[in-house]
Chain A
Amino acid sequence: MRTYCRIAIVVILLGIFSGCGSSPRKEPEKPIGINTSDVYRMGQEALQPVADQYVERGDRILLVPVRSFKGSDGWRFVPTPLEIPQDVFEGRIRPGARNLFKPPAGVLVGESREVALLNAIFRLDAARKVYILKTDGEKYDELLLGRILAGVGYSGVETFDVAEFSRRNPYFIDSLESGMLAAVLKKGKGFERLQSPAISDDALKDHQAGKLVFGTSVLRFATWKELQDANKPVQKLLMYSVDNVISAETEYIGFNLSFRLVDVARGGRVLWNGTKTMSSKDFPRQKVPFLGTLRLTLPPQVAGAQRDAFSRTLRDQGVKMPMNAVFVKIDDIPVFGTYPVTREDFAVENALQELFSSISGVNVMEKLFKRQYKEPWQVAHAVHYVNPLLSGDYAEFQNYYGARYMIGYRVLWKKIQGVQLLQGDKDLELSSRILGIYVKVVDMAASGKVVLSDFLTLGVDSELEQNVLYRCYERTKSFTALASALRDLAVINDSTNMVLINRRMEIANDYIGDKAPAESFMLTRLLKGGTPGAPDYVPDYVMRSCYDAYEVLRTFGKTDDAKAAAKPAGFAGKTEAPKTLTPAEEWNLAMAINLMQTWFEDGLGTALMAGNAAPNEKLESLYSRYLIRKASAPKDASEEFLYLSPLLLSQWGAAIKTYYNIDKIVYFSLMETSTPASRHIKTPAGSLLARYFPLVSYEPDSLQVSVVNVISGDYEYKQDFALK
């Protein structure tokens, strides 16, 4: 018996040891069969229109497959099928939501608002093992649903790995590229690659982390230099990525291709940039949205009108054509210190690129040079609303980008998040989700002089009227009296370089100096990435932070109470009258105020532009006095600081001109005293923030302006305008 026991133990041991070394048994890998002829044809058809338009006879073209930036980027509007498999919903979405969105502190029983929403709008069809989104009943909060699905990382468009796909079907890329080459060879020449063009992994990583200027090329700069080598002439470069493929053996195939055609011979001018959905004849049309092709189509009349308007403004500003420019996504980076990189951003920049490229004489250049955004701590230390681009010397902009002009843009979303229902038979379209895009063209060779400042309107008036940020922009955009006054009184002239500084926001920086309850909260969020030990970048975290701040703006006119407005999402709040804000609520409100103030400033910039008093972009960091106040923080020093400039400058003089190349500082403060309750929210008096913003309104009723000469420090202008 004992012997048998021994044998049994040894057998068990051997089993354990052998089990340790083996991996879980995998299903045998199934090759993917495709119709290579179809792929060849579709590759050719995808590129042919572009090639016909841009490839010139004799051009030598290099095709460069690149990894898609979009591959791991999140969605702002999560593609959502009407039916979600039960295992996905119960195994991933609901547990993920429960984990991410907890009930507020003190609530012992019940679910968070997010989980409650999930339970309410999805019903289980047990027979088919799917959860069905209820689209026929009462309207659900799409914004909140988008926040949940983005939070748990769900998307109805599955993440696609081209390398994995190609491994299982080695002929796919070859057939596709052969088709594309066929399109090119009609006029030009393509050639066989012997070495992979160097792709910068760091750039990919930094781009996904929101550090790199959005839309920067993944190609290494050195490779670009090689392409420009006269001994190996390459006139055009076609970078392409396969973003998604759906296939069923040889039955059908559909895929989503991104192209970027760059004119190497002309210094990197982007000729065409966009995404194509290609599918075989038998490809089920209802699967087209599942390919995830996303585009922003500007209405032709809007595009045409804006093209003319932009062209006219640039001409009026004396911009010499042709002009080279690069896009720099600004968005809310000056407020939040970073931004969530989403797939929608690519569609927006593609549309803008198409629009600006269609302006005669405007060349949009490829962002080959790897340039980052300012660090969050730089943004935190600088005066309010500095340009987020990071440079050592902004005068070098032209040298490294090959472009004199920066086209900065901010998207005004109808809703900050949401879902895209995967239904119908078309690509996903963004135009209905955007109210407009604020655009400013900055002359980097003229110390950041703004030569165009405008709002590209996409939404209808009624939607725009309801948007708080747009109303902030509109409030100051129409204020033309300031430009006239400055001109008439000869405070400025054509050669004056001036920057706008929001004096009220600089004074409000003392909010941080005062050890505000939200201070650590703000710094944690704003300085994320600069804090040792903190993760560099958590896209969803940034997205949710933006969401919370924007949520405040949704409640204007609906409540008089900032407490309700500033609740973080998912807070099932109490009903008693609020006295103070929690740190999270204060942060949300403070960020919302920051957002509003940036739109006020953009509006004011547009007004000054229109009045021929264009300001300069704040490229270099001018520093805020709160920095020193925060560092020294003597208890009784508040009075000392009270009478000083909000800027941290030791003395006025030529050095400021030398360093910043500015002549005048235009301070402005927008104040509200008696705006109607429907147009403001009230900060609870017990909160420190109420000292600085007792009311938060998009309709300030006064604008205080003062102009200081940086050489002498003299006030040259002071006026309190009543805004009507």
Chain B
Amino acid sequence: MKRVLLIVALALAFVLPASTQDFTFLQPPTLAVMDFEVSMSAAENEATKTFYGQLISQALLTVLVQQNAAPQVETPRDKYLGAPEYNKENPGLAGSAQAATELRRYFPPIFKIFDKKYVELALQNNNFTTRDLYTKSVGAYAFTDLDYLVLGNVYETRIGSGEKQRDAIGFNVRVLNTKRAEELYSYSEVVDSDLRDLPAACARIAQLIMRDILNSHCAQFVIKESAEVSESPEEKSLLFFWQSRQIRKDDATVADSDDSHKRMVAKETFYWALPGQYVISVYNSVTQQIKTIPFTLAPRDIYHITIEKQHLESERGTITIKGVLPTDSYRFEAVPEKQREQYWWEIGVSSNPPPGFTVEISNGEEPLVYMTWPDKLRHTKDEAVKAVFRPASNDIVIGNIQISGYEVTATAQPSSGASAITGWWRVSSRLFVRSSPYRVDLHTQKDVSIAIADFRLQEKKALEAPRKTKVSFLFNPGFESQALLKIDDTLNSNWMYWRDKEKLTIESEYSQADWDALPDVSYTFMFLYRPSVSGEVDGGIIFTRSFKKPDLEPSRDTVVIIDLNQEALKQKPAQKVQAAPTSAAHAKPPTAVTKTQAMANAQPPGSTASQGKPASKTLLQAGIGMGYGSLSYYADVGYAQEEVSSGIDIPMNAAILWNLSPSLGIGAGALLHFQTSDQFVFGAAGTVNLVARGPSSSLAFLFDLGVGTGFTVGAGAAFVDPAKGSGVYLRLGYMIDWSTGHDIYIGGYDYSATNNSFSLIVGYLWPL
């Protein structure tokens, strides 16, 4: 029998060179760690030897199993595969300083690890023992299912030097190819005799074994995104998963893998895996939809997977609302329901809900769509919901809807006759009728039809002796704008849409009780208008008008004139409303605006925020500069000898100014200067400062006059940002100082000194 095994083993050794011994994920390399041999003087009897042999091999087995199940391995950066590693100062000691490491991510498990008992049993069945493995007995390596054996020997040694020299245990580990009985890799470690660092030493060896196996038998792949995908807004919503197409179950049968086998991976990172068939799943966390990319890894390949635009395409649903007549006006608001089903990786993780949307249909015109994006990410036109009215069948088809559950609310808008009257709309807010939410689940049915009757819209009952209100708005230019209006009086909260209207008359009715409880009524307008004046607002402008109840009595006939250009000028940059795409027909004059953004940006009535910052009353100026000064003084050399000392002059000035009018400010300040020469000069003066500026001019003129240790005069110009009122200024100044410290008295006569200096100051002027 041994002979037969030997023949087979030799034959295989010739027929199957190492390079052709390829494994797959379903057929991974098999491995067993056997008891190590022991050659230690301290362990004379067999029992002790067995103890050390088993102890260290089991320690290695344990960490090897752990490493096999781990998703990554950190190993020393290997220049030469399998090269011995030494720590010269403390050779072989585990936990010693490590060289640079590298991280390898892989798809576990890489090995199939057998317990040594199975090997021993196989050996026993063939009349071999473990010892035969160490002695390389012919036929001992003829395992049909075992690819690698890990053998080792333990020995006693000493480490350290001088007084620190101490007993230690060394062990060598070898990985043998069972097919050829070839020793492929070997590793050594030395640990203290008390074995406290044995786990670390074994871990190092296990890591090295993993590294070497990865190098020898695995392929790599990397996920990349195409430029189109990386620049798309959906990119931030993508998750990538990796799984083997099939798995081997515990009973050794092969089955397709499922979601539980998905492992999250990162893009642009190399992953190692055994050859085989794999699947990359691209998951869009907004749409909750998965696109799969199957691929096959060949041995030692480096495979690039590119995520293309097509991988982002998700399934969309449609809602068809039937029975909408061309004379009707409706508003349909769809609010996404909270996500009910979650993948395992979504549990406990906040997810992005799909966008809500609102569809407006008025008098058979092409519907308008307004999106309510859940985040502030950019969105493309393709993502927006699209709606079309089909007059032949009286249907509104709302398509390109993300698969989700929605609550759809219908609001019947008053039959305005708007199509007949150009330029003017009379509308009663009481005529708005709102339905209860209607639940639509696109998960269960991708295309849903709802009859308008299903919304159960019912006209409001006529009021007895109602209180009526009426207000008219005039818009200029009304014929170049579209608008949304929110009427909010706590009883009616409605949105209306119109275009090309110069005049809007809003009438409402209230019961006496409602009227008594009614606070002020506000009308928030959102105009899609591109003003013709400077300070353009991209998209829409928003403003609110609120009214006291008496002002809305019909007999008052309140008329409010609204100049859109003026309103646009009032809009702060922060109020600029980002445009979102909508139906093509309405995209021409700017674009539609998302309601959420619009309302979030709406300012309360009377808010000064929309009025722009008022001109500050107080200005502060401060600056520093450089100049040249010359001191004329007398030196006492027995007589008064006139001397001159010149040097660099460093001036500083500051002042606070109050605006008497928009064009003139006056204030007080100070100027300090010192002069560096062989005679130090210091001067200071209190100043009266003036600033003059033309209305909306960016140039201001400064002037100051002062007296102190001398006399100073300065003039300059400031370049001011008209919007902020701040800017840089330049001041050219002159100062004459008496420099009394340099005066001398000879014979009772005062020989006084004078310093003249010129300087240029650069400073900043800003409103307080």
Contacts and interface: CB of A to CB of B under 8 A. Distances in A.
A and B form one complex? yes
B420 A650 contact: yes
A577 interface: no
B707 A13 contact: yes
18 contacts: A10-B707, A13-B705, A13-B707, A396-B554, A399-B555, A400-B555, A530-B563, A532-B565, A623-B422, A627-B423, A650-B419, A650-B420, A651-B419, A653-B420, A655-B419, A658-B417, A658-B426, A659-B424
B754 A2 contact: yes
A9 B685 CA distance: 14
A396 B563 CA distance: 24
B422 A648 contact: yes
Closest CB pairs A-B (n = 4) = A392-B472, A655-B417, A655-B420, A399-B555
Interface residues of A, number: 41
Given A378-B502, A400-B557, A532-B565, A627 B479 contact: yes
Contacts of B470: 392-393, 396
B555 A620 contact: no
A656 B420 contact: yes
Contacts of B555: 396, 399-400
Given A375-B476, A393-B557, A532-B569, 7 more contacts: A10-B707, A17-B688, A372-B559, A392-B472, A621-B503, A631-B480, A655-B421
A628 B477 CA distance: 12
Nearest to B690: A20
A16 B502 CA distance: 60
Interface in B39-60: none
Interface in A342-400: 372, 375, 377-378, 381, 390-393, 396, 399-400
A574 interface: no
A711 to B, nearest CB: 11
B421 A393 contact: no
B745 to A, nearest CB: 13
A2 B737 CA distance: 12
A17 B421 CA distance: 69
B551 to A, nearest CB: 11
A379 to B, nearest CB: 11
A3 B556 CA distance: 78
Interface string A108-142: 00000000000000000000000000000000000
Interface string A631-659: 10000000000000000111111111011
A724 interface: no
B711 interface: yes
Interface centre among A372, A390, A391, A623 (most CB of B within 10 A): A623
Interface string A19-54: 010000000000000000000000000000000000
B476 to A, nearest CB: 5
Interface string B533-564: 10000000000000000000011111101010
B554 A13 contact: no
A390 B559 contact: yes
A6 interface: yes
Given A16-B705, A378-B474, A391-B559, A631 B479 contact: yes
A449 B555 CA distance: 21
B566 interface: yes
Interface string A597-628: 00000000000000000000000110100011
Contacts of B557: 391-393, 396, 399-400
Interface centre among A10, A17, A659 (most CB of B within 10 A): A659
Contacts of B711: 9-10, 13
Chain B interface size range: 35 or more
Interface in B410-430: 417, 419-424, 426
B554 A393 contact: yes
Contacts of B750: 3
Contacts of A6: 738
A242 to B, nearest CB: 32
User: Chain A binding site: helix, strand, loop or mixed by DSSP?
Assistant: helix
Contact of B477 (A377, A392, A658): A377
Contacts of A391: 472, 557, 559
Interface string B417-449: 101111110100000000000000000000000
Given A13-B707, A400-B555, A623-B502, A381 B688 contact: no
A620 B503 CA distance: 10
Contacts of B417: 653-655, 658-659
Contacts of A381: 423, 479, 502
A628 B471 CA distance: 26
B314 interface: no
Interface of B: 417, 419-424, 426, 470-472, 474, 476-477, 479-480, 500, 502-503, 505, 533, 554-559, 561, 563, 565-566, 569, 688, 705, 707, 711, 736, 738, 750, 752, 754
A10 B738 CA distance: 12
A649 B561 contact: no
Interface centre among A375, A392, A532, A652 (most CB of B within 10 A): A392
Nearest to A393: B557
Contacts of A396: 470, 554-557
Interface centre among B420, B533, B563 (most CB of A within 10 A): B420
A654 B426 CA distance: 14
A526 to B, nearest CB: 12
A313 B565 CA distance: 47
Contacts of B419: 650-651, 655
A113 to B, nearest CB: 34
A226 B480 CA distance: 44
Contacts of A375: 474, 476, 561
A91 B566 CA distance: 39
A399 B555 CA distance: 5
A17 B711 CA distance: 13
A238 B470 CA distance: 34
B292 to A, nearest CB: 50
A378 B750 CA distance: 83
Contacts of A393: 470, 472, 505, 554, 557
Nearest to B416: A655
Given A3-B752, A655-B420, A392 B533 contact: no
Contact of A392 (B471, B476, B502, B566): B471
Contacts of A392: 470-472, 505, 557-559
Contacts of A649: 420-422
A652 B705 CA distance: 76
Interface string A650-671: 1111111011000000000000
A396 to B, nearest CB: 4
A532 B563 contact: yes
A390 B476 CA distance: 15
Given A391-B559, A658-B417, A377 B476 contact: yes
A621 B423 contact: yes
A119 to B, nearest CB: 35
B426 A659 contact: yes
A649 B419 CA distance: 8
A659 B420 CA distance: 10
B556 A400 contact: yes
A628 B505 contact: no
Interface in A323-338: none
A399 B554 contact: yes
Contacts of A2: 752, 754
B419 to A, nearest CB: 5
Nearest to B752: A2
A651 B558 contact: no
A600 B505 CA distance: 33
B570 to A, nearest CB: 11
A412 to B, nearest CB: 30
A6 B470 CA distance: 77
A652 B420 CA distance: 7
Nearest to B743: A2
A268 to B, nearest CB: 15
Nearest to B588: A632
Nearest to B736: A9
Contacts of B502: 378, 381, 621, 623
A431 B754 CA distance: 80
